[in-house]
Amino acid sequence: MLTSNGNVNRDASAMDTSKQLTANDVNYLKSQGYKIIGRYLTGSVGDGAAERNKYLTRTELHDIISAGISVVPIYQDGGGVLGYFSESQGIKDANLAGQAARALGIPSGATIYFAADLDVEDGNIDATIIPYIKAVANQLSGYEVGIYGTRNVCSRAYEAGAVTSAFVADMSTGFSGNLGFPMPKVWSFDQFVEFTLGGIPIDNLGVSGRDKGIKKINSSITAKQALRKVIGSADITLDGPKVTIVNSKVLTVVANATSHVNTASGSHVVEINNGHIDSVSLINVLKSMGLNISGTVMDVIISKVGLKLSGEIADGQLRINKVLDGGQNVEFELVITSLKNDVLDTEFGINFDVSFHTKELKGEIKETLAKALAVAGGVAVVGIALALVATFAPEFLPALGIAI
Average confidence (pLDDT) over 169-196? 95
Please tell me the number of Cα atoms within 13 Å of 96 on its side-chain side: 18
HEC profile for 228-285?
HHHCCCCCCCECCCCEEEEECCCEEEEEEEECCCCCCCCCCEEEEECCEECHHHHHHH
Averaged pLDDT of the chain: 84
The pLDDT tens digits for 299-309 are: 544 444 434 45
pLDDT at 158 over 90: yes
pLDDT at 67: 98
Among the ranges 177-186, 330-339, 379-388, which has the highest mean pLDDT value?
Answer: 177-186
pLDDT at position 302: 45
Amino acid identity, position 256: N
Q: What is the pLDDT of residue 29?
A: 98
Contacts of 228 (CB under 8 A, 6+ apart): none
211 CB burial (10 A radius; 0-12, 13-18, 19+) = buried
Share of the chain above pLDDT 90, in %: 54
Stated pTM of the model:
0.80
CA–CA dist 372, 246 (Å, integer) = 6
**Confidence (pLDDT) at 369:** 58
Indicate whether 294 pLDDT > 70.
no
Distance (Å, rounded) from C-alpha 352 to C-alpha 354? 6
Secondary structure of the chain as H, E, C letters = CCCCCCCCCCCCCEEECCCCCCHHHHHHHHHCCCCEEEEECCCEECCHHHCEECECCHHHHHHHHHCCCEEEEEECCCCCCHHHCCHHHHHHHHHHHHHHHHHHCCCCCCEEEEECCCCCCHHHHCCCHHHHHHHHHHHCCCCEEEEEECHHHHHHHHHCCCCCEEEECCCCCCCHHHCCCCCCCCEEEEEEEEEEECCEEEEEEEECCCCCCECCCCCEECHHHHHHHHCCCCCCCECCCCEEEEECCCEEEEEEEECCCCCCCCCCEEEEECCEECHHHHHHHHHHCCCCCCHHHHHHHHHHHCCECCCCEEEEEEEEEEEEHHHCEEEEEEEEEEECCCEECCCEEEEEEEEECCCCCHHHHHHHHHHHCCCCCHHHHHHHHHHHHHHHCHHHCHHHCCCC
Instruction: Name the more confident of 377 and 161.
Output: 161
* Measured distance CA(54)–CA(227) in Å, rounded: 33
Q: Side chain identity at 124, as an amino acid letter?
A: N
Higher pLDDT pick, 252 / 363: 252
- CATH architecture label of 14-207: Alpha-Beta Barrel (3.20)
Q: CA 25, CA 136: separation in Å to the nearest integer?
A: 32
Write out the residue limits of the CATH 3.20.20.80 domain(s) in the chain. Answer: 14-207
What would the pLDDT profile of 229-245 be if each residue is shown by its tens digit? 887 767 889 999 999 87
The confidence score (pLDDT) of residue 388 equals 58
pLDDT at position 1, please?
Answer: 43
| Whether 376 contacts 234, CB under 8 Å | yes
Cα four-point dihedral sign 338, 117, 158, 73: positive
Residue type, 134: K
Determine the pLDDT at residue 3: 63
Q: Is the pLDDT of residue 349 over 50?
A: yes
Q: Is the dihedral of CA 38, 40, 46, 48 positive or negative?
A: positive
